[in-house]
Structure 1
Amino acid sequence: MSATMKHLVRAAVTVGFMAAAAGAMANAELNKPAPAFAAVGADGKPVRLDAYKGKTVVLEWTNHECPYVKKHYESGNIPNLQKDAAGKGVVWLQVVSSAPGKQGNVDGATAQKLNASRKAAPAATVLDADGKIGKMYGAQTTPHMFIINPAGQLVYKGGIDSIATASKDDLAKAENYVTAALNAISAGKPVQKANTKPYGCSIKYG
């Protein structure tokens, strides 16, 4: 085989791998119906997205060992957001897509203990150890946030706020994109910054 032919074969294999990777990781589209899913919650009960039709739903990808997640939980930022959302009738779902044996993977009992110790208040914690839900949404980081409006459309995806660090000192200075999006939805207005860059630890897919 000539050097040119070997180069072409290597290029084709590389493109094939890239295409396969792209196919495995979908990308949920804004202003389109949010991808439906059914899973098991940390409490052993089923969690179905379509059960929340008519409500605003927040999806929060999380990994309790990630420094960026710790920033938002240890400061009380995410627990406070969860409680505020619940008080307004918003359904907040944590999603754990860490694969077995990888950072952040937890069983249901551990997830519940973590939430209790951090005073977290999600409506449910979705266990997604096979990563199907995360890949369906194109979730990349922890945290990575997605918001679905009462009509079932995805209206926000991206970072939790505007300052991509693991420092709690930056919270007061940051623009909270999730709060802004929820306020817009509540007021019947379009989300102004609907697609922002997520930051945090990469999701530990299998």
Structure 2
Amino acid sequence: MTFPMTSKSSFLRGVLSRRTVLAGAATTVLLASGGPARAQAQLDQPAPAFTATTAEGKTVSLDSYKGKTVVLEWTNHDCPFVKKHYGSGNIPTLQKEATAQGVVWLQVISSAPGQQGHVDGPTAIKLNKDRGAAPTQVLLDPSGQIGKSYGAQTSPHLFIVNPQGVLVYKGGIDSIATAKADDIPKADPYVKTALGELAAGKKITHASTKPYGCSIKYGS
């Protein structure tokens, strides 16, 4: 089919206009969902600083733990993947082993009010007591500010900060992304191995792994 020159020009302008609108809409969706626009903590760089309120109502900062290895564990007690690692005793055992070696273990709850996993301080303390958990502190992050600064995506999602305040690990607790406790003994225990390598002064073999679990329930 042959178009008159004016019709062809109008047709092309219409196509380009529609493409521009669609591209703008796609960008808006990405920004609204916190996609590519969300910054993430970078390996071998200083870990994002923060100040937070603990479940006991105290105020702590990452800087207050300078000189110690710090583990940040994002959690949501209602998530099946979290239940896998707590119900089996996997995370509580790892917490106790790590803190016995002087590691600071910070549980972080970034679920927004009204979302799955959101709890107040007393409830968080009771949950840990009932599960035999032993984090150094539980940090309440209902605004999601800490979680977003680290790029935390799932519960669980774990990060390790070395005594110099540098991020040296981020990712999953292990290598098998299921909610089945039977898979734990078969998995490569990424976080346990990373802590051991760090304590021995070795380079962490798998410093960045894929996290798995429930999406963190950030607010809008």
Distance 2:16 2:195 in 1: 55
2:25 is aligned with what amino acid?
Answer: V
User: What is the percentage of aligned positions where both structures have the same residue?
Assistant: 62
| Counterpart selection for 2:25 from 1, 13, 17 | 13
* SS of match in other structure, 1:114: helix
In structure 2, the residue matched to 1:190 is 203
SS of residue matched to 2:92 = helix
Number of residue equivalences: 206
Aligned to 1:43: 56
Q: CA deviation at 1:6?
A: 2.6
Is 1:24–1:135's contact at 8 Å kept on the other side of the alignment? no
Structure 1 segments unaligned to the other structure (5+ residues): none
Does the 8 Å CA contact 2:30/2:37 hold for their aligned counterparts? Answer: no
For residues 115-157 of structure 1, the C-alpha deviation after alignment (integer angstroms, 9 at most, x for no partner) is 0000100000000000000000000000000000001000000
Query: Match of 1:161?
Result: 174
Asked if the contact 1:73/1:118 (under 8 Å) is kept, the reply is: yes
Query: Unpaired runs of 5+ in structure 2?
Result: 1-12
Preserved contact between residue 153 and residue 216 of structure 2 (Cα < 8 Å): yes
Distance of 2:167 and 2:81 partners within structure 1: 24
Coordinate RMSD, CA, aligned: 1.3
Question: Residues 16-165 of structure 1: matches in 2 within 5 Å?
Answer: 16-19=28-31, 21-22=34-35, 25-165=38-178
Correspondence for 2:14: 2
Q: TM-score, normalised by structure 2?
A: 0.90
Q: Secondary structure at the match of 1:147?
A: strand
- CA separation in 2, counterparts of 1:120 and 1:52? 20
Detail structure 1 runs of 4+ shifted over 4 Å in the superposition: none
Q: Which amino acid aligns with 2:107?
A: Q
SS of 2:139's equivalent in the other structure is: strand
- For 1:2, what is the secondary structure of its paired residue? helix
Could you say if the C-alpha distance between residues 24 and 94 of structure 1 is closer, same or farther in structure 2, counting changes exceeding 3 Å?
farther
SS at match of 1:160: coil
CA distance in 2, matches of 1:98, 1:156: 23
Cα drift, residue 23 of structure 1:
6.2
**Structure 2 contact 76–118 (Cα < 8 Å) conserved:** yes
> What is the TM-score with the length of structure 1 in the denominator?
0.96
